[in-house]
Amino acid sequence: QVILGREALIDTLGARADTGAFARVTPFRATMAYSVAWQSGWTSTFSLSQRAIAGYMPLARLLIERALGEQIVLGVSGQYGGFGELRAGLRFVYACRDRLFLELDAPNLATAFGPNGRGRSLAVAVSYAW
């Protein structure tokens, strides 16, 4: 496609700025969670989160975890919501030092190895608690 004239070039490059005030919702995620540590050594956490994305419904998650020693925590989760999906997942936490943690979370095992799994298969986090 050939660009002809100064006005067509300005429109193509998006160089014509709009003036005036505007308001826009920035992306965010709000989460509420409630945890219970059972005497048997298991911990269960129920969380409800909402993101500022069109078509996103509240995401409910139930996470059940158990500590294996002092450094490793393993967990399984079930989720429903977001964009209307039911998911099952796994979680692994390793305490590297006193307050330094490495977390691997696979919240959607059904798509982990499929073509639609990009961006939804694995979350990696390094955190420091103070």
* Degrees, nearest 5: CA angle 9-15-19: 140
Top-confidence residue, 68 or 54? 68
What tens digit of pLDDT does each residue of 35-51 get?
999 999 999 999 999 99
Containing 6, the helix (H) or strand (E) segment is helix 6-13
pLDDT for 74 equals: 97
What is the value of pTM for the model shown?
0.71
b/e burial code for range 39-74 (CB count within 10 A of at least 16 → b): eeeebebebebbeeeeeeeebebebebebeeeeebe
The beta strand positions in 15-111, using DSSP E, are 29-37, 42-51, 57-68, 72-82, 85-95, 100-106
Q: Which among 115, 123, 61 has a CA at the least distance from the CA of 91? A: 123
> pLDDT tens across 81-128, in order?
988 888 999 999 999 988 899 999 988 887 776 776 666 678 899 999
